[in-house]
Structure 1
């Protein structure tokens, strides 16, 4: 779950909904800038499905009993997180092995610095999964794979930007992740800047200084807003299930 806290409310965004935005962004990547066009469908599928493992978890969010706030994807306990990561990759692999390889790389990197046995076992298993998929391909190009993974990272971060910041937020009010812009994977530096400067022009428009997309991208951000008072009286799951979705239309465009 992605969570923004306000004075008297929490804004909750399901990870799978965030991933749909990432997919919509990536679909608009300029054709001339896309290396390995034969893989494009798989790369786009990976963007849309990269958070598949969170899909059922986020329908009934978990409460962090230490601070009485909903758990976010950043502080969610590691061991159940590993289970949902693996489940999500498994489900993607049933449909598209190359997309699963990209999702595997995405989650493997999250666990590289963890010292727990479970995390290190996950990293080892995902390395084996990736090698098995690579072995099944004819001359898989590692440089091309890194380019495609860089696209997943960029689409993920551009989607997170509108999820983790209040619409129209001034630069100094942004989440620390984004105040210096969005760093891009080195594999993309031949087609876009090393760091993209992203900011809100107004409450429904986000500008990007180096715009590697076909044209303005219109997306729908689905969120639920929970009153802290209602959460305290009804509990998190019931409050969340009863709250309506709000649909916000947001456009990414060139600066």
Structure 2
């Protein structure tokens, strides 16, 4: 779950809904900027599905009992998080092995420096999975894979930018992750700057200084708002299930 706190309420965005935005972002990437076009459908599928392991869990979010607020993906406990990561990769692999390879790399990098035994076992298991997938392919191009993985990283970050920031927020008040822009994977530098600068123009428009897309496009942010009073009175699950799903359109454009 992606959680944004206000004075009197919480904004909750399901990881699966955030991933849908990621997929839309990859789908809009310029055709001329996409080497390995025969793998494009797999890359798009990976972007759309990279957080599918969270889908059922996010329907009934978890409360951080120490803080009395909803858990977000930032602070969700590591051991159940690993279970969700593995489940999501398994689901993707049943449909598209190259997409699973991308999702595996995405999650593996999250945990490579984590010191827990469970995290290191996950990294080892995913290395084994990746090699098995590579061995089944007639040809594997590491350079292309790095580029496609860079797209997954970028789309995840741009979607996250839309979800963790209050729409229309001033640049200096943005989430710390994005005040300096979005760092771009080195594999993408042939087609874009090393850091993508962006800002909210207003409550429904985000402006990118470097624009690697065919044209401006819209994405839909889906969220639920639960009041802190309801959270205290009814609990998290009841409050979340009763809240209406809100949808807002955000236009991604260039300056």
Question: What TM-score results when the alignment is normalised by the length of structure 1?
Answer: 0.99
Distance 1:36 1:224 in 2: 38
Task: After superposition, give the CA deviation of every residue in 1:185-236 in whole Å (9 maximum; x if it has no partner).
Answer: 0000000010000100000000001100011120110000010000000000
Deviations 1:228-248 (A, max 9, x none): 000000000000000001101
Provide the rounded CA distance (Å) in 1 between the counterparts of 2:217 and 2:137: 33
| 1:17 counterpart residue number | 17
Query: For the residues of structure 2 that align with 1:247 and 1:183, how far apart are their CA atoms?
Result: 28
Alignment partners' CA distance in 2, 1:195 and 1:120? 30
Does the alignment pair 1:120 with 2:120? yes
2:140 corresponds to 1:140? yes
1:138 deviation in Å?
A: 1.6
Offset of 1:183 from its aligned partner? 0.3
Between the aligned partners of 1:17 and 1:65, the Cα distance in structure 2 is 25
Q: Tell me the residue number matched to 2:215.
A: 215
d(CA) in 2 for partners of 1:115, 1:247: 39
CA–CA distance in structure 2, aligned partners of residues 184 and 138 of structure 1: 29
- The two structures, once aligned, show a CA RMSD in angstroms of 0.5
Match of 1:191 in 2: 191
User: Match of 1:190, SS?
Assistant: coil
Give 3-state SS (helix, strand or coil) of 1:113's partner. Answer: coil
Deviation track 1:7-40 (CA, whole Å, cap 9, x = no partner) reads 0100000000000000011100000000100100
Structure 2 residue 231 is the aligned partner of structure 1 residue 224: no
Gapped runs of 5+ residues in structure 1? none
For residue 178 of structure 2, give the secondary structure of its aligned residue in structure 1. coil
1:176 CA displacement:
0.2
CA distance in 2 between partners of 1:26 and 1:218 (Å): 13
Q: Matched residues in 2 for 1:111 and 1:94: separation? A: 23
CA–CA distance in 1 between the matches of 2:138 and 2:189?
26
Task: String of CA shifts for 1:83-133, please: whole Å, max 9, x gaps.
Answer: 000000000000000000000000001111111111111000000000000
Which contiguous aligned blocks of 4+ residues in structure 1 show a shift greater than 3 angstroms? none
User: What corresponds to 2:242 in structure 1?
Assistant: 242
**How far 1:172 moved relative to its partner?**
0.9
TM-score between both structures, scaled by the size of structure 2: 0.99
Q: Per the alignment, in what secondary structure is the counterpart of residue 160 of structure 2?
A: helix
Paired residue secondary structure (1:61): coil
Tell me, in whole angstroms, the C-alpha distance in 2 between the residues paired with 1:111 and 1:39.
26
* Alpha-carbon shift at residue 139 of structure 1 (Å): 2.3
2:180 aligned counterpart, secondary structure:
coil
CA offsets, 1:17-73, max 9 Å, x none?
000000011100000000100100000000000001000010000000011010000
Pairing of 1:6-45 with structure 2 (within 5 A): 6-45=6-45
Partner of 1:86: 86
Is there any run of 5+ residues in structure 2 with no aligned partner, and where?
none
